[in-house]
Structure formats: C-alpha cells, structure tokens
Amino acid sequence: MAPDPGLVRLRVSLRAVLGIALAVALAELLGLSLVASITAGLAALLALFTVVDPTVRRQAVTTALLPAAGFPVLALATLLHGVPTLRDAAWLLVIFAGVYARRWGPRGHALGIFAFMQFFVTQFLHAVPAQLPELYAATGVALAAAAAVRFAVWPIERRVPPPAVLAALPGTGFARATTRQAVQVTVASGAALVIGQFLSEERWYWAVGTVWWIFVNTASRGETLVRGFRRVLGTVTGIVGGFLVAVPLAGAPVATALLVAVCVFGIFYSAAVSYSWMILAVTVMASLLYGLLGVLDGPLLLLRVAETGAGAVCAGLAVTLVLPVRTHTTNDTWIQRALLCVRSATSAAARRLAGDEAADPTPHAAELEALLGRVRLSVAPLVHPLTPFKGRKERAGRVLVLLDEAAREVRGLVSVAADPDASHDARLAAACWRVEAAVEALISRQEATADPDGHVRIPAPPAKPAAVSAPPPKPGAVSGPAGGARWNEVVPPAPYGVPP
C-alpha cells in the first residue's frame, strides 16, 4: 500500500467508520427498519466520502446542501417504483444532471453523486412509497451524524493544510469536458439499463451503477477505459471475497456488522491509491448487505459480475464513440499547465530574490503538487502494464520522471528563496530566469534546438543585474536549483507532446 504521510488516510478512514457506525446506531435507536438503517449507513458514507471541498467552511455548506439534492430524487425514485418506463427515464435525467453539475467543481460533483446514489439506493433496497418517511428520517439522521463526527468530534481538516484547487479545463458548450461526459454517461447508462434488465429484472441497476462510477474522476477516453478495467477486476476479486466471507455468514448480524466496518475502512483507506482495491471492498460490503437482507446466494454474486461487465462495456463504447475526449488532448492540457506552474513558481522566486517581499512561490509549489497528481491520472492509460504501445509507455514514464524532478527542484527553490542568507546568491536568480526561458520555449516550441539525444537545449538569456551582491553561498543552504545544473543545461523535449 502507498505511503500515508501524517497518517491522514488512516485517520480519515477511522473517522468514516465512526461516523457511519453512529448513523446506523441512531437509526436503530429510533426503531427504524433494516432498510432504513442501511439507507442511513450509505448516506453517511456518501457524505464523508464525496464532500471534498478545499476548506472546512465549504465542506459544511456542501454537507448541508446534500438533502436538497437527495430528498427530491429519493421521493421521485420511490414514487415511480411501480412505473418502470417513467422510472428509467427519470433516472437518466438525474444521471445527466448529476454529471453536468461537475462543471461547478467539488460541490457540484458531491451533490450530483448524492442525487444519483439516492436513486440507486431505492433500487438496491426495493423501496416503496410507504417507506419514504422513514427513509427521509434515516437520511437526515445520518447526515447529522456524519457532520457531527466530521466537524466536531474529529475535525481532521482543520489541522491539515487545504489542498490546492485546480481550475477546470477550459471550454464552452460541447467543448467543455463535463458537458461531453454528461452525454457519454447518459448514453452509456441507457444502454446499460436495457442490457441490465435483459440480464435481470430485479438487479439491473448494477449495470447502471457501474457506468456511473467508472466515469467518476475521469476526463479522457484512456482514463475511462483503464477505470473500466479496474472496476471489473475489483468486482471479480470482490465476488471471490463474497463467496469466501459473506455466503458462509448468511447474514449473522454481529459478524456482518463488524466485517462491514472493515470494508468501510478499506474503501476510504484505498480510494486515493487503488481503485481496484476500493471496488473490492465495495463489492464485499454489498455482498454482506445482501446477506443481511436475506437474499444472498452464489447465483446473485455471479449476476453481479455479469451486470458489472455489461456496464463496463457500455461505458467503454460510449467514451470511444460518443463525443470522445482524446487522451492526448487531456495530457497536453494538464502537462502544459504543470509547466506553466513551474514557470510561475520560478518567476515568483526570482522576484523574491530580487527583494520583492510580496512575491511568494509557495502557493505555486502547492499547486504544482496537485497538478502532478492530475498528470499522473491523465497519463495512467499510457503507463498501464497492459498497454500495447511500448514506445508511448516509455515516453510517458519519462515525462512523469522529469516532472517529478522539476517539482523536487521547485520545492528546493522555494526553501532557498525563503532563506535570507542563501537568497542573496545571484546564481539563484539566474537559474530562475533560465527556467522561465526554458518553459517558454517548451510551450511555444520555438527558440529551441533539439540535440541528437532528444533533449532541447535552451541558450541562457542575457545576464540580468543582480539586486544585491553575491557573497559565497552558505554551506548546505543552496538546494538543487542553485548550481543550475539541472535547470540550465538540459530541458526535456516538450513532454506534453506524448502521442495519443
């Protein structure tokens, strides 16, 4: 498992278990039915999992808005339970609106997921209109419990610096990625709905759910195809876990509750580092819940695999044929933004070195870390072990190595620029100017000549007068950028030109 600096993932996962357990316990204390208790647990899970706004205040507002998005959908889904045609059409409208809402950032993303899942939960539990009041009560209690644990009992985010917020990719109309994705998901969901109902008139919703979650946090054709493969892999391994764990338990309440808590922990702990492991935990948890409901058996688990496969195929076809967003285009945009962020960081550092106290490269360094995470996600299809394009895989891997090295040098530059003694070294300012020139040449593809080894050599710009004299550098104070060896001599060829 990937490193967990500061044990943030561990603490968030334990908090999720606490919040969901509290929500279910309150539902039980209120005398609600098993269906309502499961609804409470899932609502708390969604509130703790999907609300990822950059500040605590925004998280609280988004959590408070979840009922506004979820309650109308919950009512719509239960009222249309016995009218399949209208139910299906309504769900497709909810799906389109939920994906389209992603254009408004983390809040729209969370509200869209919550609305979709309220419709999904009613299908999963076969809820009917008579159960609507207690479903409302269960969801309200769950959201209150999740908010209390998150913002009062264990406010982890108050002690963790907020992550940098990345602006959405530019575009309007069908040039906007979220608009294209809304159409893709709706088309794929419609196809999955038909195939899913052909496979099973009772469990067809798993195919639609597969489509939805494959498209979460993806932005290109390649990302979505890789996500679909990992979804199927996680589901198949989770079904094996269901056979080994959930079937023998046969719904034993105490043991099932304990194992569901373990699954919840696994979902939160693995979500940021492994989609397949997360889906494995989700699948085992779903099997355990089916055991509680008394409907779990081997054929049901095998049907789950078939529905997941159908949804993955529909998602793959839609992302390939319906308004496709090429992997190359997305790579181009995110890597170019990372390069521009490197330039902004070095520009701010240069101004700081020249005596401008208002200039601060630190925010740019934080943004660069966030951009690198997005770049890794974007190029993941090219570096996947099963990719048939070995040349592209090598180039994409080299891009990641070079950008990681650039980020490491930027961190060193930020540290040195903040040192009042080391920052008087004029060589640092010269290195910053050269980086700016190098990035500009990479972006414009001009003023650069290629060496036989494939690197682009950037001529040093004319020396600028130092704002201060340059005394000998303080031992150990000047990090990688000071000597300028990495920054000044050789710059990688335009990395965003990774072939599609």
Q: Max CA-CA distance within the chain?
A: 82
**363-393 confidence digits (pLDDT tens):** 888 888 888 888 888 888 888 777 777 888 8
Distance, CA of 91 to CA of 101 (rounded, Å)? 15
Spans of the chain, pLDDT less than 70:
1-2, 162-165, 170, 420-425, 445-500
Confidence at residue 4, expressed as pLDDT on a 0 to 100 scale:
80
Amino acid at 348: A
Confidence at residue 129, expressed as pLDDT on a 0 to 100 scale:
94
- CA torsion, ordered 228, 296, 267, 208, to nearest 10 deg: 30
Confidence at residue 475, expressed as pLDDT on a 0 to 100 scale:
38
User: How many residues belong to the chain?
Assistant: 500
Phi-psi category of 355—alpha, beta or left, where left has phi over 0 and alpha has psi -120 to 50?
left
Q: What is the 3-state secondary structure (H, E, C) of 267-333?
A: HHHHCCCCHHHHHHHHHHHHHHHHHHHCCCCHHHHHHHHHHHHHHHHHHHHHHHHCCCCCHHHHHHH
For 39, the token pair is 């609804």
**43-82 confidence digits (pLDDT tens):** 999 999 999 998 999 999 999 999 999 999 999 999 998 8
The answer to whether the beta carbons of residues 73 and 115 sit under 8 Å apart is yes
Count Cβ atoms below 10 Å from residue 475 Cβ, excluding itself: 7
Residue whose tokens read 């993932």: 9
Nearest to 309 by CA among 317, 297, 298, 320: 317
Confidence at residue 162, expressed as pLDDT on a 0 to 100 scale:
66
For 266, the token pair is 């696994």
Confidence at residue 474, expressed as pLDDT on a 0 to 100 scale:
40
Confidence at residue 266, expressed as pLDDT on a 0 to 100 scale:
97
**382-429 confidence digits (pLDDT tens):** 887 777 778 888 888 888 888 888 888 888 888 877 776 655 667 777
pTM of the model: 0.83
Amino acid at 18: L
Confidence at residue 360, expressed as pLDDT on a 0 to 100 scale:
86
For 288, the token pair is 């355990």
Helix (H, G, I), strand (E, B) or coil at 114: helix
